[in-house]
Amino acid sequence: MRIGPKATTAKAIGAAVLLAAVPMQATADAALTYFERTVVLEADARCRMFSGPVRSALTTAQRQARNAALRAGAKETDLNDAAGRARVRAAGVACGEPDLKLIQGRVENAFSGWVRMPRMTFPGARADWMADRTIYKSARWRLVQASMTGSSPVAFGYATSLSGEALTAVVSFRGQARPYAARLVLRDPQRAPRAWLGHAASLPPEGLQQVIWASGSAPAEAGVLFEGKTTGEMWRFPEAAAAALERLDPREPFAVEFVFRDDSVARATFEAGDFAAGRAFLMMGAM
């Protein structure tokens, strides 16, 4: 499937502005929307058209469009080809062209509302990512999805704490037993290039998995605990884990597993969803 026409002038990429701020549920062709938004981002990479917050807002929208296209049945290879053609189209536009100034103004106007949004929910098929750019003095979730392992609630995402901001899992187990380690389990794209889209909660076989271990733990601060919980543990993961999650198809599951000293494992399953879009939303900066 070919996504996007061949024209290479600044006027030709102006169509992207018409799609730039349209909510994904109202967009007829998410693959074309992804292509057009990528063209504008590629032009910005060459010509530095936008401020950081506007660039992050457009990146958020571009990642949403990509995920919407995948959910609608587009192939990842087709979207990768579309991104390549977007780079070629943007490269054919001179940074000094007057039409680029017009496009710059339209995009900034289209995304001015996004830049002022403190919170955003990114819906998924089974679970949502909730993002919050508000500044708090105490520990808080900045990007989070909720799950369960047995009867114990688990949250995963970006959290701020006394130790700073990090990719974090928080769990409140019943009883006295506590895990001694935690790990993130997801598809390894080097071993399994195609998205793993079996049963909603089914991870790839062990031989196709990537495992990323938590780098540390601490008692959970009150601001990141589930309502009604007074204790829990925070497990911090290296930043490389975020890049690994962004490579997943939005429909794919991943898991946080807690390992106990008797070798038992408690698993909480999550959905990749719009994690990448949520992360771009946070890059617009705190408010």
pLDDT at 44: 94
pLDDT at 177: 81
CA distances, 159 to each of 36, 138, 165, 227, 262 (Å): 33, 11, 6, 16, 29
Paired tokens of 198: 């079996």
Give the Cα separation of 61 and 64 in Å (integer): 5
Look at the block and give the residue holding tokens 């601001």. Answer: 223
Element (H, E) at 218: strand 216-219
pLDDT at 2: 61
Q: Which residues of the chain have pLDDT under 70?
A: 1-28, 199-201
CA distances, 175 to each of 136, 231, 245, 269 (Å): 31, 11, 31, 21
Q: What angle do CA 142, 131, 35 make, to 5 degrees?
A: 130
Residues with Cβ within 8 Å of residue 172, at least 6 apart in sequence: 152, 153, 220, 225, 226, 229, 231, 232, 233
pLDDT, tens digit (0-9, with 9 covering 90-100), for 91-117:
888 898 888 888 888 888 888 888 899
- Amino acid identity at 123: P
pLDDT at 274: 97
Give the Cα separation of 100 and 93 in Å (integer): 8
DSSP code of residue 92: T
pLDDT at 25: 44
pLDDT at 116: 92
Assess contact for 217 and 163: CB atoms under 8 A.
Answer: no
What values do phi and psi take at 98, rounded to 5? -60, -35
pLDDT at 24: 47
pLDDT at 7: 45
Report the sign of the C-alpha dihedral through residues 64, 66, 70, 76, in that order.
negative
pLDDT at 43: 92
Give the Cα separation of 225 and 138 in Å (integer): 12
Give the Cα separation of 273 and 238 in Å (integer): 20
pLDDT at 111: 85
Please state the pTM of the whole predicted model: 0.89
Residue ranges covered by each domain of the chain: 10-116, 129-282
CA distances, 154 to each of 41, 100, 140, 213, 241 (Å): 36, 47, 15, 17, 18
Give the Cα separation of 146 and 127 in Å (integer): 8
